[in-house]
Structure 1
Amino acid sequence: MPPIAPASPTPRIVLVYGVAGLIPFLAPPLATLVVPGATDLVAGLAAAYGALILSFLGGARWGLEIAHARPRPAVIGLAMLPTLGGLALLLLPPDLRPFQLAGLALLLGLHFLWDLSARGLPRWYPRLRTPLTVGAVAGLIAEAALTAAG
């Protein structure tokens, strides 16, 4: 039996930008604690960023799928759902902001689970996405809780 090849390391630039992408998820709960009067603005920015990242992830899956000679229609269709889900949540009124943030966290978690089953992704991708998804979801849930607490 041949030895199992080790997974290649995550490219440094991908790791750096991925970690930097966590800042807009983790800064809102801190800002809400430090500047309570800015909760509405901060929570709205957190929601907008969460929806943008959902759209980005869906676009990445769409791009991965169209690289195949015969893209699967189901994957192409499913790759559009994160954008539509994020948009639908952004349309909720501001008084439902905690539910909006929690819904975005849920969609990010579901997208992560879908990505774990994807074919054609680099072997290092799950190692990158796991902490990024945990950080993003934690930031959104923390902001939802702080916003709900008022």
Structure 2
Amino acid sequence: MTVVSPDPWPRWLGLAGLLPFVASLAAAWWGPPPWQGVAIHAFLGYAAVILSFLGGVHWGLALGTLAPGSVAFRRRLGMAVLPSLVAWSALLLEPLPGTWLLVAGFVLLRAFEVGTTGLPAWYRRLRSALTLGVVACHLLLILGVLLLA
């Protein structure tokens, strides 16, 4: 059982994927007032894209590893689509409830992954660390939105 990816590329790409969260969060907190709203929307848009992308991982796993028509196949496909629906719905809301909905989406998807098979140990560990970073950024954005209101 490999705990660290045999290739460092996934870790570097995952960490690089946190940069737009951090950059838009910083702009939302410390940018000029006209930019703060843009930064918040940029943050939420990027979060929606990433949550949708993570759902796509499960679509690929279902197609590549599970028997079509099986309960596991349907469950994995359902979980593959749900993050995109949650992400899209979050974009239709005001920033504060939208951000909370995205937090719930990231946490629930990670909880689903913990309870399923088919993911390498190194991926699970990476996803846990990245989810922690993403959720922390969301909570800081929520704090900032509350302070800016």
Deviations along 1:10-53, whole A, 9 cap, x unmatched?
A: 22000000000011122222222221412210110110111101
- Does structure 1 residue 139 correspond to structure 2 residue 128? no
Uncovered stretches (5+) of structure 1, i.e. residues with no partner:
1-5
Q: What is the CA-CA distance between 1:7 and the residue it aligns to?
A: 2.4
| Corresponding pairs, count | 142
- Specify which structure has the higher proportion of helix: 2
Q: Secondary structure at the match of 1:67?
A: helix
Aligned to 2:28: 32
Aligned to 2:88: 87
The list of structure 1 runs, each at least 4 consecutive aligned residues, that deviate by more than 6 angstroms after superposition, is none
Q: Which of these residues, 39, 58, 79, is aligned with residue 55 of structure 2?
A: 58
Q: What value does the CA root-mean-square deviation take over the aligned residues?
A: 1.4
Mean Cα deviation higher: 22-31 or 76-85: 22-31
Alignment of 1:46-125 (within 5 A): 46-71=43-68, 72-92=73-93, 96-125=94-123
TM-score of the pair, normalised by structure 1: 0.88
Deviations along 1:30-79, whole A, 9 cap, x unmatched?
A: 22222141221011011011110111011001101111251411221221
What amino acid does structure 2 have at the position aligned with 1:61?
A: H
CA contact (8 A) 1:25 1:135 kept: no
Q: Secondary structure at the match of 2:121?
A: coil
Deviations along 1:103-142, whole A, 9 cap, x unmatched?
A: 1011101111111122111121121011100111111121
Structure 1 vs Structure 2: percent identity of aligned residues? 32
- Does structure 1 residue 14 correspond to structure 2 residue 10? yes
Q: Secondary structure at the match of 2:65?
A: coil
By relative contact order (CA 8 Å, sep 6+), the higher-ranking structure is 1
Uncovered stretches (5+) of structure 2, i.e. residues with no partner:
none
